[in-house]
Chain A
Amino acid sequence: MIIFVLLLFAFVTLLTLAKEFKWSFFFGKGELAAHLEIFIPRWSFFAPIPCTHDYHLLFRYFQENGTLSSWKSAHCLTQRPFYSFLWNPKKRQTKAVFDAILELLKFAQKEKDKRQICVSLPYLQLLNYVNSLSLEYKAQKIQFTILSHSQTSDYEVAFISEPHVVG
């Protein structure tokens, strides 16, 4: 039993190193490998280049009469309450929006085919999110945009989606 446990611990440690140093032969390209990779730690927090920008997700909708709404914020970045060192339930949602946005921006940078971008996971995840927010406005079509912003630079459009029929 001890041999098995030692091998398991060594394997997990090896996978940690493989993920960190991007030894792709360890993970391969299969679906199972992609799922396994989710559970392997990545320890390079905020390094080598930390994110120094905030990203804002906004959406607008097209009404049945053809009028266009103004941009509305889909995810409000607000200041954390003082007790967030103990209790911070918004953390995962904030990071999920951030992760999806970063993944979409990276993908959009290297993929030139718009159709591929529109069916990518982060695109669909963000579209699903803004789509549900637009239901209350009885919109016909919806479009979302990502703005980047930092204390040293003004708001910039980082991405703009295609208009989609609200579902």
Chain B
Amino acid sequence: MIDLFAEISSVYKITLQMLSFATFIHALEDLFGWSHYKRSGILSWNVFRTSSSLLLKKWLSILLSDTLFKSSFILRFCLSLCIFTLSFQSPFSPLMPYLLLTQILLLLLIGLRNAYGLDGAYHMTLVLLLGMLFGTAFPHSPIAICSLIFITVQLLLSYFISGVRKLLSKIWISGGALAGIFSTQCYGHPFLFRIFQQRPTLSRILSLGVILPETLFLVFFLGKPWAFALILWGILFHLSNAIFMGLNTFFFTFLSCYPALLYTFNLVRG
């Protein structure tokens, strides 16, 4: 299975398909939740624009006004569909970098308009889009390979930093973090909270089941059994986060990095 990801064009093709699905869901969710971005919503531009003089510039005010900003959601939705369709035909189509660049600029507008509520999935989407942009713009040069390595490095960093931070935290090592997180309504789950509260040993084992693979994700490059085990762990980890914590976009975006990871594995292992 891992060998399937040795061919660069198929890696780009699969990544673009997965990524465009993620951005499609993201854009649709933003469109559906438009009321939060309105003047009366928690993500109102009305207040956030006063946070810096840069945002008070006239051209930016026009660009980020309600009407144009809402149009950007529709454009992101359409771009996702275009990228998805075009990637089936040819991931290295001359049109692709332009579509990806537009998608990046529209995503940057979201952060500029209101930074509250942005998450890791948003940042990983930016990383993926940046990598894909340069990779598809220069498909027959080493840049295409460097772009996939860049995505892999960011993925490895995300696991490593998160793992080490947890490893150095008493609440995570004791297993109390899982019970604590699952006790909240924001990211929690009442059923899992009850289980973790009643079985602290299970909570500690599962805690280590998150911390150790995250911290030691680099062993992925030791060989196929390690790679296979960690890919399986990654899929289960992100899937359970989506099911039990509602982090659906994390699942789509982080898994979109896996083709690049597998390509880098093939590159490293020759």
B67 within 8 A of A: no
Q: 0/1 per residue, B127-162, Cβ < 8 Å to A? A: 100100010001001110011001001100111011
Candidates B48, B143, B162, B248; contact of A2 at CB < 8 Å: B143
Asked whether A96 lies within 8 Å of B117 as measured between CB atoms, the reply is yes
Chain B residues near A93: list those with CB within 8 A: 33, 36, 41-43, 117
Q: 0/1 per residue, B116-128, Cβ < 8 Å to A? A: 1111100110110
B180 within 8 A of A: yes
* Minimum C-beta distance from A106 to chain B (A): 14
Asked whether B126 lies within 8 Å of A39 as measured between CB atoms, the reply is yes
Also in contact, A41 and B50, with CB within 8 A (given A87-B248, A99-B116, A129-B40): no
B54 within 8 A of A: yes
B263 within 8 A of A: no
Segment at the interface with A among B3-11, B166-174, B221-229: B166-174
A112 within 8 A of B: no
Q: Which residues of A (41-74) have their CB < 8 Å from a CB of B?
A: 41-54
Q: 0/1 per residue, A1-17, Cβ < 8 Å to B? A: 11001101100110011
Q: Which residues of B (13-43) have their CB < 8 Å from a CB of A?
A: 25, 28-30, 32-33, 36, 39-43
Q: 0/1 per residue, B177-195, Cβ < 8 Å to A? A: 1001101111100100100
* Minimum C-beta distance from B202 to chain A (A): 17
Asked whether A88 lies within 8 Å of B184 as measured between CB atoms, the reply is no
Chain B residues near A40: list those with CB within 8 A: 123
Also in contact, A48 and B33, with CB within 8 A (given A35-B112, A125-B44): no
A3 to B173 CA separation, bound complex (whole angstroms):
43
Asked whether B33 lies within 8 Å of A90 as measured between CB atoms, the reply is yes
A16 to B25 CA separation, bound complex (whole angstroms):
26
A47 to B177 CA separation, bound complex (whole angstroms):
9
Chain B residues near A9: list those with CB within 8 A: 146-147, 150, 153
Chain B residues near A75: list those with CB within 8 A: 42
* Minimum C-beta distance from A137 to chain B (A): 14
Candidates B40, B130, B157; contact of A132 at CB < 8 Å: B40
Asked whether B117 lies within 8 Å of A151 as measured between CB atoms, the reply is no
Chain A residues near B130: list those with CB within 8 A: 12
A94 within 8 A of B: yes
Candidates A52, A100, A151; contact of B42 at CB < 8 Å: A100
* Minimum C-beta distance from A49 to chain B (A): 6
Chain A residues near B190: list those with CB within 8 A: 79
* Minimum C-beta distance from A121 to chain B (A): 5
Candidates B44, B181, B239; contact of A128 at CB < 8 Å: B44
A35 to B42 CA separation, bound complex (whole angstroms):
19
Asked whether B185 lies within 8 Å of A128 as measured between CB atoms, the reply is no
Also in contact, A52 and B184, with CB within 8 A (given A12-B130, A31-B53): yes
Asked whether A47 lies within 8 Å of B29 as measured between CB atoms, the reply is no
Closest A residue to B183 by CB, please name it: A151
Candidates A20, A94, A122, A150; contact of B183 at CB < 8 Å: A150
